Amino acid sequence: MKIPLAKPEITHDDIRAVNRVLGTSRLSLGSELEEFERSVAQYVGAAHALAVNSGTSALHLCIRALGIGPGDEVIVPSFAFIAVANAVRYEKATPVFVDIEPATLNLDPLKVEAALSSRTRAIIVVHTFGFPAELRAIMALAKRHRLFVIEDASEAFGAQYGNGKVGALADFGVFAFYPNKQITTGEGGMVVTNNPETASLLRSLRNQGRRGSEDWLDHFELGYNYRISELNCALGNEQIKRIETSLARREWIARQYHEGLWQLREVSLPALNLPQRRISWFAYVVRLGHHYNREHRDWLRTEMLSKGIECARYFAPIHLQPVYRRESCRKTNLPVTEAVADRCLALPFFTTLSERHIKEVCRTLAMLLRTIGTVAGDGSAPEDLSGQITSGSAYAD
């Protein structure tokens, strides 16, 4: 692979920090964890932060802490990573899949309202690809209907909505630190909340239902081992020190892609700015015009890979996954999700991606788009797209 889809940036300082922990006898529940939680809470502006071993665990803890269970419904997007719905199913509650806005790929507040029922308990709002969702409208309707809101900011560390950082603006915020994220701990996640009682419940659930001051073998809740090691937290502590530099670099990469692709008629591009919001670039996802279909997108992905460039089909809708065709869920009409998911292609995107490689990705994509019509599922010739697709605008098609 010449240009991978994602790659963590690991510096000498990162390696030294992890090695330093190895030289101590404290590999879990130590000062690195405390520092990491303090740093994240301070950075996002939340009162409490609680580190766990993955973003999925973080989501699950929120659902557990809210006492959501069988018979309850939770609104989720289907155009998202599967953990969003799985966390609901772990507690035998029902995910209700709601459609997205085409411009930001985030939950459409009007469709959320239409999907509410007497069983709805919460909404999981995902800030997809680092683009802040329409929180004001969603928070207002949650207040009206007395629902909890969990912000899944796994892909949006550092993004802002108004003056606040996403993750800290609802009842709970969740972050994930897998190696493709803005900062990584290898594996890891975080829950943030402003509620002190909930924070101590989460702390207990993370650690087998223990309470901090009690004996190690006393358990007060049905808990889990969702602890994160000191090694992971040491890495996180180094990574968060350079978060602003990393976010600036990632924004620069997005702008370079925009520069290299805006003239292509066949694709529409993500917006570079949103009013009163700061994007924290997680991925750069282009969308083929509506004359194209999934075969075109899959062909492009295969051809890019054959040239050493790894791309991804972010996202495959959750409600169409084999496991969710069998699982109990409620699906509203999802025309945008289904139409958009077939035509999205995520390009290589990571903090250390070089200008030379960005240009190579753009050049290769442009070259492949010129020949794409010949590979349509029915073998038909390419359509003349001139004048039909506005290029360079925010996901306009």
Sites of contact with ligand PLP (CB under 6 A): 54-56, 59, 80-81, 83-84, 126, 152, 154-155, 176, 178, 189
- Output the smallest distance, CB 216 to ligand PLP, in A: 27
Is-cis flag, bond preceding 131, omega within 30? no
Give me the residue whose beta carbon is nearest to ligand PLP. Answer: 55
SS3 65: helix
Instruction: Specify the residue, 56 or 94, whose C-beta has the smaller distance to ligand PLP.
Output: 56
Distances (CA, A) of 362 to 49, 152, 196, 309, 311: 40, 31, 48, 11, 12
**Rounded distance, CA 265 to CA 389, Å?**
6
Alpha helices in the chain (DSSP H): 12-22, 31-44, 55-65, 83-90, 109-115, 135-144, 196-206, 230-241, 243-261, 294-306, 322-326, 335-341, 355-371
- Output the smallest distance, CB 373 to ligand PLP, in A: 33
Partners of residue 347 on adjacent β-strands:
284
- Output the smallest distance, CB 178 to ligand PLP, in A: 5
**Rounded distance, CA 366 to CA 121, Å?**
46
Instruction: Confirm if 288 and 343 have CB atoms less than 8 A apart.
Output: yes
**Rounded distance, CA 321 to CA 352, Å?**
33
Instruction: Confirm if 237 and 17 have CB atoms less than 8 A apart.
Output: yes
Instruction: Specify the residue, 166 or 353, whose C-beta has the smaller distance to ligand PLP.
Output: 166
- Output the smallest distance, CB 89 to ligand PLP, in A: 14
- Output the smallest distance, CB 88 to ligand PLP, in A: 12
Instruction: Specify the residue, 344 or 372, whose C-beta has the smaller distance to ligand PLP.
Output: 344
Distances (CA, A) of 388 to 45, 243, 394: 45, 40, 15
Residue at token pair 């200008």: 355
Instruction: Specify the residue, 250 or 296, whose C-beta has the smaller distance to ligand PLP.
Output: 250
Q: In what order do the strands lie in the sheet with 164-165?
A: 164-165, 160-161, 277-278
**H or E stretch including 97?**
strand 94-98
Instruction: Specify the residue, 55 or 289, whose C-beta has the smaller distance to ligand PLP.
Output: 55
Instruction: Specify the residue, 184 or 364, whose C-beta has the smaller distance to ligand PLP.
Output: 184
Instruction: Specify the residue, 279 or 389, whose C-beta has the smaller distance to ligand PLP.
Output: 279
Instruction: Specify the residue, 56 or 280, whose C-beta has the smaller distance to ligand PLP.
Output: 56
Instruction: Confirm if 137 and 104 have CB atoms less than 8 A apart.
Output: no
- Output the smallest distance, CB 177 to ligand PLP, in A: 7
**Rounded distance, CA 64 to CA 88, Å?**
9
Instruction: Specify the residue, 337 or 364, whose C-beta has the smaller distance to ligand PLP.
Output: 337
- Output the smallest distance, CB 302 to ligand PLP, in A: 23
Instruction: Specify the residue, 126 or 304, whose C-beta has the smaller distance to ligand PLP.
Output: 126
The DSSP bridge pattern shows strands 94-98 and 73-77 to be parallel
Instruction: Confirm if 25 and 16 have CB atoms less than 8 A apart.
Output: no
- Output the smallest distance, CB 190 to ligand PLP, in A: 10
- Output the smallest distance, CB 211 to ligand PLP, in A: 26
- Output the smallest distance, CB 344 to ligand PLP, in A: 14
Q: Is the dihedral of CA 29, 32, 38, 39 positive or negative?
A: negative
Residue at token pair 């997809």: 128
